[in-house]
Amino acid sequence: MKILVSGGGTGGHIFPALSIANGIKERHPEADILFVGAENRMEMEKVPAAGYRIIGLPVSGFDRKHLWRNVKVVVRLFKSMMKARKILREFQPDIAIGVGGYASGPMLKAAQKRGIPTLIQEQNSYAGVTNKLLAKRADAICVAYEGMERFFPADKITLTGNPVRQSILSCTLTPQEARRHYNLDPDKPTVLVVGGSLGARTINECVAAALNIIDMSGVQFIWQTGKLYDNAARAVMAEKKPQNVVQMAFVTDMDIAYRAADLVVSRAGASSISELQLLGKASVLVPSPNVAEDHQTKNARALSDRDAAVFVSDSDAETSLIKTVLDLIGKPEQLHTLEKNVAKMALRNSVERIVDRVDQLIGINK
């Protein structure tokens, strides 16, 4: 049984891909799984660290602001298509799974041309361009939101939810124990600020500018800056010396960080939202404006319209984000309402549902 998994670029694509691979391995220990990602992207590091083989394609994203640069993009795409065909000839997978990201387009397109069954996993409430193009010839489409038939053929859609890192669901610590893990006061309200694996400039700048206010607020912050903003954050922490803020480039124990937090401040990537739903966490969502189709705003609105999260636009964050957070953390009843409503939106057992579809496509009965 040979499985090809393609996609990546950010943690929001890589972690679901690894969750699917782990789910396949759990059910079919003999399965041979090969990842295909984009060269020089974080999957080339994260996937081998998780114990899987990966091959990189020289593909890159389309530059919408500087059209003249896309000559190189087209050349890389052509090279990627050629390499994708070579991978398929040599590996001969039974199925190709695409999770989004630069590499999934050329890889799944090549698989479809060879008649290899393809499954795409759309994580967002607004489908990306690549998945919309692949959907016409895909055999199965796994989605996390209702109403996706406006993008995809209805007869191919299965509502599965998004796979998340299983470790975040298995934390047995109390909130007090989790706060002690970060050397914080176990009884003080705590906010987790997380901008994704690469970081979120606007969110980081808002926290940095408000460190004096945060220091006097009595509210504790766990601040994940992302590796791109780590040095700048360290410098401002050394200058301001807030006693109630723990800063780090990357949270390795997200299960503990989530458990410590009364409120989460986050971008609105699909994986982050799925984690918040499964954990029933109150959140303030600040969608990134730098993503295709503005899909993070649509993800965030899917929650805020149901009173399952608080929405702050990136453009308003500078003046209102920290004020909104500190105001909300002092309203336990509103936090409880957000927790209750976001938990209602959770779709559980997503990996099992996706592996069920994989089995069906390649003719394996459970």
- When pLDDT is averaged across residues 132-139 and rounded to a whole number, the result is 93
Token match 């209805």: residue? 154
User: CA separation (Å) from 332 to 181, 208, 262, 336?
Assistant: 24, 26, 9, 6
Span 55-71, mean pLDDT?
74
| Separation in Å, CA 341 to CA 191, 302, 304, 335, 346 | 19, 12, 10, 10, 10
Report, as an integer, the average pLDDT of 182-209. Answer: 90
CB-based contacts of 181, cutoff 8 Å, min separation 6:
173, 253, 256, 260
Cα distances from 281 to residues 88, 244, 258, 263, in angstroms, run 42, 21, 8, 7
Q: Please name the residues in contact with 155: beta carbons below 8 A apart, sequence gap of 6 or more.
A: none
The confidence band for 331, taking pLDDT boundaries of 50, 70 and 90, is very high
Residue 162: phi and psi, rounded to 5, are -95, 135
- Note the pLDDT of residue 306: 95
Model confidence band, residue 67 (pLDDT cutoffs 50, 70, 90): low
Per-residue pLDDT at 132 exceeds 60: yes
Using 50, 70 and 90 to split pLDDT, how confident is the model at 169? Answer: confident
Instruction: Give the C-alpha separation, 197 to 308, whole Å.
Output: 24
In this prediction, residue 35 has a pLDDT band, given cuts at 50, 70 and 90, of very high
Residue 196 has pLDDT above 70, yes or no: no
Closest CA to 109 of 88, 91, 92: 88
In this prediction, residues 280-307 reach a mean pLDDT of 90
293-301 mean pLDDT: 87
pLDDT at position 290 is 79
The confidence band for 336, taking pLDDT boundaries of 50, 70 and 90, is very high
Residue 84 — pLDDT band, cuts 50, 70, 90? very high
Query: Where is pLDDT greater, at 68 or 98?
Result: 98
The pLDDT of residue 66: 64
What is the structure's pLDDT at 197?
61
Within 8 A by CB and 6+ apart from 54, the residues are: 34, 35, 36, 37, 43, 44, 47, 48
Average pLDDT of every residue of the chain: 91
